[in-house]
Amino acid sequence: MKKHLVSAHDLNKDEAVLVLDTAKELALISDRPVKKLPTLRGRTVVNLFFEDSTRTRISFEAASKRLSADVINFSAKGSSVSKGESLKDTAQTLQSMGADAVVIRHGSSGAPHLLATRNWIDAVVINAGDGTHEHPTQALLDAYTIRKHLRNSEGDLNGLKVAIVGDILHSRVARSNAILLKTLGATPIMVAPPTLLPVGIEKWNGEFSYDLDEVLPQVDAVMMLRVQQERMSDAYFPTTREYSRNFGLNAQRLKTMQKHALVLHPGPMNRGMEITAEVADSTNSVVIEQVANGVSVRMAVLYLLLGGSNSETGENN
């Protein structure tokens, strides 16, 4: 494995499968009364969050704590960052505090890449979402969830088709998923109005469509992306009603899908906008499970990047 996880491109197929397999092992811990392994005892994991994201932060925090790491939460609000401290100074501060891993969430695309490549810091860098670039652990947890249901938690995702629906242009989740799904042998299909697809989408790996109804019957899973309110004012689509009519997942549309097809959403959901409550709570929906799987996958990433050994996952520890 590469030292850092900045992009889904950092994982080849074998490594991605290894992360998923490791997550499967580690998930067993979560079913125990004492949900803790000593693997990362004495190691320090810093959650460096320049952007609010309670969900992702607590997921990483839970993952680190279950591996017995010391966790430091460093959020931009209330720290010197909001007074204009640079990424470099923050990084060097963490370096002198002896961080072994830095989990970074940043509003600017490429910030984790800088942290990993500029020699400001020795720690392992894990991208927890940067701007409109990538969010690789989200893609891993989505792949884990799909694999669990459709591949019995074994191997890759060869032959599966997965629709990713919504604001592809601004979505780091979509980017990382498009890359990782392809790596794992699946075919991602990006579905959105043309305004919300990036220029050059035809050169991305995978397919794209403007027509959700045409795509839904073909796919094994559909990932609904959150539509940000501010897209409205920038004229990406005329009204939320129209968006919802064309790209919202409702019960009627769900009926056109294959019986085994899964419904995923990275959360938080706009119920009634991109997804109806009926669909979100249906048996096809794995949205709640994604959250639990997120912890397992992030444990696996921390475990593998911080160099734990296999024996330590055993029952005796």
Q: Which positions touch another protein (CB under 8 A)?
A: 86-88, 106-111, 113-114, 117-118, 130-134, 169, 172, 175, 198-201, 203-204
Which residue in 22, 39, 44, 56 is the catalytic one? 56
Catalytic residue flag (residue 56): yes
Burial (0-12, 13-18, 19+ Cβ within 10 Å), 149: middle
Nearer to another protein (CB atom), residue 78 or residue 200: 200
**How far is Cα 76 from Cα 240, in angstroms, rounded to an integer?**
32
302-to-93, 107, 193, 273 alpha-carbon distances in Å: 21, 22, 37, 35
**Residue 151 identity (one-letter amino acid):** R
Catalytic residue flag (residue 66): no
- The answer to whether 174 and 190 have CB atoms below 8 angstroms apart is yes
Nearer to another protein (CB atom), residue 171 or residue 296: 171
Nearer to another protein (CB atom), residue 90 or residue 284: 90
The nearest distance, CB 203 to another protein, in angstroms, is 4
Nearer to another protein (CB atom), residue 201 or residue 304: 201
**How far is Cα 115 from Cα 124, in angstroms, rounded to an integer?**
9
Catalytic residue flag (residue 55): yes
Catalytic residue flag (residue 83): yes
216's tokens: 């839904």
**How far is Cα 226 from Cα 166, in angstroms, rounded to an integer?**
7
The nearest distance, CB 171 to another protein, in angstroms, is 9
For the chain, the distance separating the N- and C-terminal CA atoms, rounded to the nearest angstrom, is 25
**Residue 240 identity (one-letter amino acid):** T
**How far is Cα 308 from Cα 300, in angstroms, rounded to an integer?**
10
The nearest distance, CB 87 to another protein, in angstroms, is 5
Catalytic residue flag (residue 105): yes
**How far is Cα 21 from Cα 16, in angstroms, rounded to an integer?**
9
Which residue in 43, 57, 66, 105 is the catalytic one? 105
Which residue in 24, 135, 175, 231 is the catalytic one? 135
The nearest distance, CB 48 to another protein, in angstroms, is 13
**How far is Cα 298 from Cα 64, in angstroms, rounded to an integer?**
8
The nearest distance, CB 58 to another protein, in angstroms, is 24
Nearer to another protein (CB atom), residue 114 or residue 286: 114
Q: Looking at the annotation, which residues are catalytic?
A: 55-56, 83, 105, 135
